[in-house]
Structure 1
Amino acid sequence: MPTLPLPSPLISATDLLARLGPSAAWPVLLDCSFDLADPKAGEAAHAKGHLPGARYAHLDRDLSGAKTARGAIDGGRHPLPTREGFAATLTAWGIGPDTPVVAYDNQGGPYAARAWWLLRWLGHSQVAVLDGGLAAWQAAGGPVDLAPCRPEPAATPYPARAPAMPTVSASLLQASPAALLVIDARAPERFRGDVEPLDAQAGHIPGARNRFFKDNIGADGRFLPADALKKAFAAFGTPAERIVHQCGSGVTACHNLLAMEAAGLTGSALYPGSWSEWSSDPERAVARG
């Protein structure tokens, strides 16, 4: 039977369960679980239990590109993959341009949001994030599988089409600081510059505002209702098309992009290099407090 179009950008566990019936057109599932402090932890957790048929998407290997010789100065700690490289990854996972894809993780959605954004960036419309991740799936009675997935590559290579999601560079932010509002997804103490466990300097981009990505979800790990998200982002007083999202390395910023999309606020951009790139250049201004 044909697969119904996916809701966008979030899908509930009960809705996903209803779609995983006796059909050859199941959504492709991507387990994006990850731990920045232990890059092997997500893959190890995947081996102990995942949604049936889920491919494992590793943040460093699959959802990021190679770092440049200049390191965090160019592209940050998690540079975007090349469009050709990510298209080849999708092909290897058996994903074509019309394949429904559902991404999830077990950390509140930041890594699944990165996969969602990358697919949208490549022009893929049929992609959603499992709201509440693995915990919501299990709470809804969804089965967990231990078997490794060995997908058949797609018959036709995925096309590396023109970017379908906007990005901005550090040079553009420096050239037009008043034209854009930067929203920083890091924890408040990192935004203020009280601590900095990962990057070259503590602080934030001058003029940036803080929206900790974890504020997008409730105690149950699911995203807040659309009207609550809309109210939170509308409070910044800036149209979506003039908002730029950043974080430490361009990953959790995608969570805020996803939240805005869920609220019906479309058109904001990602600064992929984020604070890891910005702070690595001593000539760039830094604010604290």
Structure 2
Amino acid sequence: MSDSQIVVSPSWLLEHLNDPQVVIVDCRFSLADPQLGRRQYQESHIQGSYYLDLNQDLSSPLGEHGGRHPLPNPIDLGHKLSEIGVNYQKTLVVAYDDSRFAFAARLWWLLHYLGHENVAVLDGGFTGWQKADYPVTNIIPQPQTASFVPQIQTNKIVDIKTVKNKKDLPEIVLVDSRESDRYRGEREPIDKIAGHIPGAVNYPWQEVTDPSGYLLSPVEQRRRWEELATAEEILVYCGSGVTACVNLLSLELAGISKGKLYAGSWSDWISYM
């Protein structure tokens, strides 16, 4: 699947590499090695793309609460987006990574949260781009001058208080996006406490794509969520509010615009325990 407003194919992006209305953002990152994505970008990236770092750009510093990847300061992120040429509500942003949208979807969701809906992800990511033998470079593009003034969409997010108040209501579904063994509490490689929020159902984020990092078709995305389609709201979380965004991307592809992010996620939830 490709070339919708939500996702573009490598061939589409190749044709728009020099389009002044398109800004490409490299979101590669590794939780195990936080500098790896930046090193990879400096070595080789899609021609003309800029780099935004999960920790430095797409999150704010850790606090006592708020999870491992608190949402970034909207004004700070707006300045960074301006500097890479993103004009609010005008520029098409195309985000990519090489982790099955684990980090590109975070930027995709953040832009929607800031009121900028003109954003897509690159199907297949950087690996798919390389397999197509499309151009890469190590040249870092120059800063740009643009204007990005965020307009926060508060209806796209929930906090711990809202989750506690709503999670057991019959019309509300709480979705845990982590791998099933982490959901069940059998394995916890990152957080201090294993398990899941009581009442949550498990939809692992890796199921949104095939093993090569290509999104399943809209029909398959709809089939994936069919049991939850009648819910009034779907509250989505993961470990720290990053890979949950892959499920929110999936919900949009399925035509279900009821998803909201519990940004602090499990790491915020257990900070109160």
Deviation per CA, 1:181-221, whole angstroms, max 9, x where unpaired? Answer: 11111111111001112112100000101111111111331
1:91-240 equivalent positions in 2, closer than 5 A: 91-97=82-88, 98-154=90-146, 156=147, 158-163=148-153, 166-179=156-169, 180-236=172-228, 238-239=230-231
Task: Give the whole-Å Cα distance in 2 for the aligned partners of 1:55 and 1:171.
Answer: 36
Q: What letter corresponds to residue 38 of structure 2 in structure 1?
A: E
Task: Give the whole-Å Cα distance in 2 for the aligned partners of 1:211 and 1:242.
Answer: 15
Whether the 8 Å CA contact 1:201–1:280 is kept in 2: the answer is no
Aligned to 1:20: 17
Deviation at 1:141, TM superposition (A): 3.1
Task: Give the whole-Å Cα distance in 2 for the aligned partners of 1:164 and 1:248.
Answer: 21
Whether the 8 Å CA contact 1:8–1:262 is kept in 2: the answer is no
Aligned counterpart in structure 2 of residue 42 of structure 1, from 27, 37, 44:
37
Deviation at 1:164, TM superposition (A): 6.2
Whether the 8 Å CA contact 2:27–2:103 is kept in 1: the answer is yes
Task: Give the whole-Å Cα distance in 1 for the aligned partners of 2:32 and 2:42.
Answer: 19
Deviation at 1:140, TM superposition (A): 2.6
SS at match of 1:142: coil
Whether the 8 Å CA contact 1:199–1:280 is kept in 2: the answer is no
Task: Give the whole-Å Cα distance in 2 for the aligned partners of 1:112 and 1:216.
Answer: 13
Aligned to 1:85: 76
Q: What TM-score do the two structures reach when normalised by structure 1?
A: 0.88
Deviation at 1:88, TM superposition (A): 1.4
Task: Give the whole-Å Cα distance in 2 for the aligned partners of 1:135 and 1:205.
Answer: 34
Runs of 4+ in 1 over 4 A off after TM superposition: none
Task: Give the whole-Å Cα distance in 2 for the aligned partners of 1:258 and 1:164.
Answer: 18
Whether the 8 Å CA contact 2:229–2:256 is kept in 1: the answer is no
SS at match of 1:235: helix
SS at match of 1:234: helix
Deviation per CA, 1:111-141, whole angstroms, max 9, x where unpaired? Answer: 0000000011111121100011011112233
SS at match of 1:66: coil
Aligned to 1:259: 250
Q: Give the structure with the higher percent strand.
A: 2
SS at match of 2:268: helix
Deviation at 1:19, TM superposition (A): 1.9
Q: What TM-score do the two structures reach when normalised by structure 2?
A: 0.93
Task: Give the whole-Å Cα distance in 2 for the aligned partners of 1:162 and 1:202.
Answer: 32
Structure 2: state its 5+ residue gaps. Answer: none
* Gap change, CA 1:62 and 1:194, over 3 Å in 2: same
Instruction: Figure out how many residues of one structure are paired with residues of the other and give that number.
Output: 268
SS at match of 2:120: strand
Aligned-pair Cα RMSD in Å:
1.5
* Gap change, CA 1:109 and 1:165, over 3 Å in 2: farther
The percentage of counterpart residues that share the same residue type is 38
Deviation at 1:174, TM superposition (A): 1.1
Q: What letter corresponds to residue 104 of structure 2 in structure 1?
A: A
Q: What letter corresponds to residue 112 of structure 1 in structure 2?
A: A
* Gap change, CA 1:164 and 1:103, over 3 Å in 2: farther
Q: What letter corresponds to residue 259 of structure 2 in structure 1?
A: S
SS at match of 2:15: helix
Deviation at 1:142, TM superposition (A): 1.5
